[in-house]
Structure 1
Amino acid sequence: MNGQRRLIGAGAVAAMLALAGCSGEPEVIKIGVSQPLSGNLATLGQDMVNGAKMAVDEINAKGGVRLGSGRAKLEIVTADDKADAKTGEAAAQTLVDAGITVAIAHLNSGVSIAAAPIYAKANVPQLAISTKPSYTQQDLATTLRLVANDNLQAKAMGSYAAQLAGAQRFAVVDDSTPYGKGLADDAAGAIKQQQREVTLRQSLDDKRTDFAPLIAELAKTKTDVLVTTLGDFQVEALIKQAAAAGLTRLRILGGDTIKTDKLNKVAPLIAGVYATSPIVEAREFPNGKPFLDGFRTRFKGDPIYGAHYAYDAVHLVADAMARNDTADRKKLLERLKNPSFDGHAPVTGSMRFAADGEQRYSAVAVYLLKDGAWLPQIRSDRW
């Protein structure tokens, strides 16, 4: 009798394995995460990886992703794109060759744009935190954006600057990069739409730290607000030189490239330092606290960039596959772009993709640097 039971048990197991094999679904679903993991932006890239890992661990701890009558575990596969377009292409191919189902890639717009055709050829949905509008304008179905694009950020920069109390005269200065110049041009346009005067418009280079000629022009035009896409180290030097020249009433509003701790000591030298960012901090969302508590426990510190977006992206993808009962890439993409898909995004609560791959409910926030901390002022999806 015991022998018969053993035979029945063995037969049942064999049948289950046969059914699992016939389903064609993987036992492990690979999620590619390609970010800059070395170089100057490594901390930002690792932050994205950490967010994705945290989500994967949570999902796996609950048994993985349900696909029909079975379950599949998630696995992170990382690649270092070094914030370089060519390296990013190679990293994308490495992930595709590894058999990933979806890619959370990349940080830099130039890298995301260069790598996009590689993911598209393999039908791999690409979820990027990059902000350049042209990323989703390549006629590739697989390009999806996790945050607001630069069009909305430029409107935020111009609109917020224009409404600052007492502001009448504005200067707009960019760093001559395609990203910085495009953002600055649109910000200047937004200021003019608010019936404000742009008295100075300049393009400098992204290495300059001697701003004597610019400061002379700011003084001559009696500029109230400088809107700029210069980097944090440049704005640091600019503030010191402006204060030394007596321009202590100047206010500076920059993009997310200045939202670092580099300006903490110099910010009090002038009337105000503001930054806009499409990366709305986790603490600003109603459901941000549980994520932050878990992140701190796991990684012994706070997230520093977009970890919560990577975290939400993994949860959203897992939810989509579970509803599809399959890890099929094409069906995953269709689900993600389905306007009726109200997927699980634990922190942001509203990660939804439009037909063109843009975020349907993206927002840009404005922060004021005060007492060594970037304090949220306002965020909007309209501006």
Structure 2
Amino acid sequence: MPSNQNLMPLALSALLLCAPAVADEQVVKIGLSGPLSGANAFAGKDNENGARLAIEELNSKKRPAVGGKTIRFELMSEDDQGDPKAGVSVAQKFVDAGVGFVLGPYNSGVAIPASRIYNDAGVVMSTVGTNPQITKNGYRSVFRIVASDTQVGSSVANYAAKQLKVKTVGVIDDRTAFGQGIATEFIRQAKASGLTIAGHEFTTDKSTDFSAILTALKAKKVDAIFFGGYAPQAAPMARQMKSLGLNARLLGGDTLCSPEMGKLGGDAVGENVLCAQAGAMLDKQALGPAFQARYKARFKRNPDVYAAPFYDQAMFIAQAIGAANSVDPSVVAVAMHSMSHKGVVGTYAYDQAGNLKTSSVTIYTFKNGQPAPLASY
């Protein structure tokens, strides 16, 4: 057996051999801001998983090099609780930690105030918040990686009028930035499509009892109810509609297009529920099935609503870093405005405001508790 003295030079040589690899690496921190606790934690975790899968794949084989140094990406996740104040605190924490790129927030109400913090610090923010206000402030480093409420709300209204032949609809929104934004866009397009708005009621994103509102809308003989809000409220709403004998369609935006809706709503959620999700049908895209398989192998579950866009945007950021030959977020943001990225769910290219130049919207219903696509526009 060799002595410890003989082993020491060997160990030192091994360290010296490893040193250049470490020295030739540059760390780029990517932050993830989302609801990792609370009722919408299922969505926050799905977003995080999409980002994590991209970063793991980048670090294993696809890393760009800048200034002769290979990039190594690090994911930093923070729980913004779906709360604007917490989201601003997360934003400041990321800025202080030197995070240059942030995926999220998930909630529009969090994204709107957080975007100012990120913009002032020169951080690139990529959100799935759909409220149109997010990209109206002239922030050059803010990107919306899915369709806005204008597109999603309009698609639901058009589908309800043309395909479902709905005539009279009631609207309920949860008073969040997301809920109000998508309800407003739905009402605008619904009226343009000839639908009658029988009533516009309000609730909160913490409510679970909607019997009084639903009873009032039942008396108005609505054909459908559009809900601007999230699955944890929409599911009990569907249950209560069934128990009240309110045989109307329940319509909503992307936040309803989740297996969580079927899980929480049980047999009250089926073909009576329709929702619109930004993006094309994942399993119909050339890269979709392979992404779904990799995601399931890694996380032992199927991807939910936004795992793929979070994955795609992380890959786009890496591509832009390589193209710009810089890790400076402001330089990378300029590159992202001038280039495009072929992702899992489509091609990402942004206008000057940070909105996607083109974005599909898919209408879903539910079968056996799972979202089932009907049509894409």
TM-score by length of 1: 0.83
1:108 paired with 2:107, answer yes
One-letter code of the match for 2:332? L
Moved more, 109-118 or 306-315: 109-118
In the alignment, what sits opposite 1:183? 182
Q: Secondary structure at the match of 2:356?
A: coil
4+ aligned runs moved over 6 Å, structure 1: none
Moved more, 122-131 or 91-100: 91-100
Check whether the contact 1:161–1:227 (CA below 8 A) recurs between aligned residues.
Answer: no
In 2, distance between residues paired with 1:178 and 1:112? 9
In 1, distance between residues paired with 2:215 and 2:177? 24
Pairwise CA distance, 1:243 = 4.2
1:343 paired with 2:345, answer no
Check whether the contact 2:35–2:44 (CA below 8 A) recurs between aligned residues.
Answer: yes
One-letter code of the match for 1:267? V
User: What does residue range 168-247 of structure 1 map to in structure 2 within 5 Å?
Assistant: 168-198=167-197, 200-206=198-204, 207=207, 209-212=209-212, 214-219=214-219, 221-229=220-228, 231-232=230-231, 234-247=233-246
In the alignment, what sits opposite 2:130? 131
CA offsets per residue over residues 68-125 of structure 1, 9 Å max, x none? 5442221112222222222222211222222223111211112112221222122111
Pairwise CA distance, 1:50 = 1.5
In the alignment, what sits opposite 2:3? none
In the alignment, what sits opposite 2:12? none
Is the alpha carbon distance of 1:211 and 1:316 closer, same or farther for their aligned partners in structure 2, counting shifts above 3 Å? same
In the alignment, what sits opposite 1:289? 289
In the alignment, what sits opposite 1:264? 266
In the alignment, what sits opposite 1:352? 349
Check whether the contact 1:79–1:94 (CA below 8 A) recurs between aligned residues.
Answer: no
In 2, distance between residues paired with 1:182 and 1:192? 16
In the alignment, what sits opposite 1:41? 40
In 2, distance between residues paired with 1:282 and 1:319? 22
Check whether the contact 1:89–1:118 (CA below 8 A) recurs between aligned residues.
Answer: yes
Q: Percent identity?
A: 28
Check whether the contact 1:171–1:218 (CA below 8 A) recurs between aligned residues.
Answer: no
Pairwise CA distance, 1:336 = 0.5
In 1, distance between residues paired with 2:330 and 2:82? 28
Larger radius of gyration: 1
Check whether the contact 1:174–1:180 (CA below 8 A) recurs between aligned residues.
Answer: yes
Q: Secondary structure at the match of 2:87?
A: helix
Q: Secondary structure at the match of 2:332?
A: helix
Pairwise CA distance, 1:218 = 2.9
Unaligned runs of 5+ in 1: 1-12
One-letter code of the match for 2:146? V
Moved more, 188-197 or 149-158: 188-197
In 1, distance between residues paired with 2:245 and 2:337? 53
Q: Secondary structure at the match of 1:350?
A: strand
User: What does residue range 1-383 of structure 1 map to in structure 2 within 5 Å?
Assistant: 27-62=26-61, 64-67=63-66, 69-198=68-197, 200-206=198-204, 207=207, 209-212=209-212, 214-219=214-219, 221-229=220-228, 231-232=230-231, 234-248=233-247, 250-259=248-257, 260-261=261-262, 262-267=264-269, 272-278=272-278, 282-338=282-338, 341-345=339-343, 347-380=344-377
Is the alpha carbon distance of 1:224 and 1:114 closer, same or farther for their aligned partners in structure 2, counting shifts above 3 Å? same
Pairwise CA distance, 1:178 = 4.2
One-letter code of the match for 2:215? I
Check whether the contact 2:152–2:277 (CA below 8 A) recurs between aligned residues.
Answer: yes
Pairwise CA distance, 1:37 = 1.9
Q: Secondary structure at the match of 2:327?
A: coil
Is the alpha carbon distance of 1:324 and 1:160 closer, same or farther for their aligned partners in structure 2, counting shifts above 3 Å? same
Pairwise CA distance, 1:273 = 1.6
In 2, distance between residues paired with 1:93 and 1:284? 39
Pairwise CA distance, 1:302 = 1.1
Check whether the contact 1:136–1:357 (CA below 8 A) recurs between aligned residues.
Answer: yes
In 2, distance between residues paired with 1:158 and 1:57? 40
Unaligned runs of 5+ in 2: 1-15
In 2, distance between residues paired with 1:186 and 1:125? 27
Check whether the contact 1:320–1:332 (CA below 8 A) recurs between aligned residues.
Answer: yes
Check whether the contact 2:170–2:199 (CA below 8 A) recurs between aligned residues.
Answer: yes
Q: Secondary structure at the match of 1:321?
A: helix
Check whether the contact 1:148–1:363 (CA below 8 A) recurs between aligned residues.
Answer: yes
Is the alpha carbon distance of 1:195 and 1:303 closer, same or farther for their aligned partners in structure 2, counting shifts above 3 Å? same
Over the aligned positions, Cα root-mean-square deviation in angstroms equals 2.8
Aligned residues: 354
Check whether the contact 2:254–2:305 (CA below 8 A) recurs between aligned residues.
Answer: no
